[in-house]
Amino acid sequence: LIIFTDLDATLLDHKHYDFTAAQHALNTIARHQIPLILNTSKTVAETHEIRKKLNIHHPFIIENGSGVCYPAGYFSPEQHANTNNDWKVLSFGLSYQDIQNILTKINQIQRYKYQNFNQLNPEQIAKITGLTIDQACLAKQRNGTEPFLWEDTPENLTTFIQLLENDHLHVTQGGRFYHISSPCDKGKAMLQLLRDFQRAYPHNDWLTVALGDSPNDYPMLENADIAVVIKPSTEKPPLSLTNHPRVIYTTKPGPEGWQQAMEQLFNEFALD
């Protein structure tokens, strides 16, 4: 078993970013040494802080699949032995600066109304998201995705997305924001990391479980053996995976739903 999980409104609650309701399931996962892979829209800096609180040491996926972070020596002792860092980030696609340059170019042609993270200061981000100012500073340290809030018409959003796609960028939707990136996603990054596990431990049966709540989680859920759709924390309808062989829809949101789905799976796999 290997578990890939979204953070916001999935393992962490939508308002307070708290995971205590899932603590029992987290303990069981740790006891059975099941790799728990965070697969999030958050930055390296943010995810690193959450990882410390969760007390887990596995590789993790950041910014909607635009990067994978490998702790030094995780798959082999000599891995990254030549670096002084505790982990190495493997990035896919364009850099944050490249994305800003494309946005600047589009703005010169047509000025749409939206607010992106680069324009927002930490105080404003904290107000919109409920993060603390310190956490908002970590959220601004971005590698390859730009979140934005759309304040223009739906028609103009379609045109804006088309303009970004003409420049080989891709737009997906998280809990509160749209996210611009290269055509990376949580599913491709999950499969990349899964191959690393299969190569390192070829005799294990790597059945994948993925948990998420928002459209940016679709590629990860679609590519997992077992998909867990967490009930939305807002008025939105739950994600719908019509052609997936195995989906669990939770009836509780956030970490309560996470705990609920895990209890069901622990029973099924006779894990106590």
Both tokens assigned to 58: 């596995």
First CA to last CA distance, the chain: 14
For residue 96, state whether it binds ligand 2M8 (rule: CB under 6 A): no
Nearer of residues 118 and 264 to ligand 2M8, judged by Cβ: 118
What is the three-class DSSP state of 195?
helix
Site string for Mg ion, 32-71 (x = CB under 5 A): --------xx------------------------------
Annotate each residue in 147-166 with x if it binds ligand 2M8 (CB under 6 A) or - if it does not, as one string: x-------------------
Closer CB to ligand 2M8, 4 or 197, in the complex? 4
Contact 263, 25 (CB under 8 A): yes
| Contacts of 130 by beta carbon, 8 Å cutoff, 6+ apart | 15, 16, 17
* Interacting residues of 29 by C-beta distance below 8 A, sequence separation 6+: 3, 36, 262
Cβ-in-10-Å burial (0-12, 13-18, 19+) of 56 comes to middle
User: Cα–Cα distances in Å, from 166 out to 163, 170, 205?
Assistant: 5, 9, 41
Q: Is 59 in the site for ligand 2M8 (CB under 6 A)?
A: no
DSSP letter, residue 85: S
Cα gap 3→37, rounded to integer Å:
6
- Interface with ligand 2M8 (CB under 6 A), residue from 174, 219, 255, 257: 174
Per-residue contact string for residues 199-228; x = within reach of ligand 2M8 by CB under 6 A: ---------------x--------------
Examine residue 13 and tell whether it contacts ligand 2M8 (CB under 6 A): no
Q: Which is nearer to ligand 2M8, 1 or 8 (by Cβ)?
A: 8
- Binding at 176: pick from ligand 2M8, Mg ion, none (beta carbon under 5-8 Å per type): ligand 2M8
One-letter amino acid at 244 equals H
Concerning whether 6 is annotated as a catalytic residue, the answer is yes
Least distance CB 244 / ligand 2M8 (angstroms): 21
Choices 37-45, 93-101, 192-200, 261-269 (CB under 6 A): range interacting with ligand 2M8: 37-45
Closest by CA to 7, choosing from 63, 75, 59, 67, is 63
Which residue is it, tokens 């990035």? Answer: 91
Choice among 6, 13, 185, 217 that is catalytic:
6
| Cβ proximity to ligand 2M8, 124 vs 198, nearer residue | 124
d(CA 23, CA 131): 21
Catalytic residues: 6
* Binding positions for ligand 2M8, rule: CB under 6 A: 8, 41-43, 46, 129, 131, 139, 147, 174-177, 214
* Binding positions for Mg ion, rule: CB under 5 A: 6, 8-10, 40-41, 175, 213-214
